[in-house]
Amino acid sequence: MLVSLELMSRLRDVIDALSDRVSKLEDYKLKALETRLGNDAPPAGAQMVLRMLVLRELQSRAETRPIVSFGAHTEVLDLETANP
């Protein structure tokens, strides 16, 4: 299967954008946890566990319904009905 360089470039951009969103979501979840705990930040081990849980949840969602974003256009792919 041949994949054009333009498509590969766009896919890399999508992966980069998703990575940025995951990082922002992780930071948001950590800040929410810190707020619930009060002024005491969770220990580094708890932060790592929380990050792993967030990533696991995002990966499980991505496995069932991947989200693809091209600029302002975002689409949820249905892998069962997608045409090759």
User: Span 3-31, mean pLDDT?
Assistant: 81
DSSP β-bridge partners for residue 73:
70
Sign of torsion, CA 60 62 65 54?
Answer: positive
pLDDT for 58 beyond 80: no
Task: Look at the pTM and tell me if it is higher than 0.75.
Answer: no
Most distant pair of Cα atoms in the chain: their distance: 54
Residue 77 has pLDDT above 60, yes or no: no
Q: How far apart are CA 15 and CA 62, in angstroms?
A: 12
The answer, yes or no, to whether residue 34 has pLDDT greater than 80, is no
Domains of the chain, by residue range, sit at 5-76
55 vs 17: which has the higher pLDDT: 17
Q: How far apart are CA 46 and CA 64, in angstroms?
A: 28
**In Å, what is the CA distance from 13 to each residue of 3, 51, 77, 80, 81?**
15, 23, 17, 24, 24
For residue 43, what are its two tokens?
């220990």
pLDDT of residue 48: 76
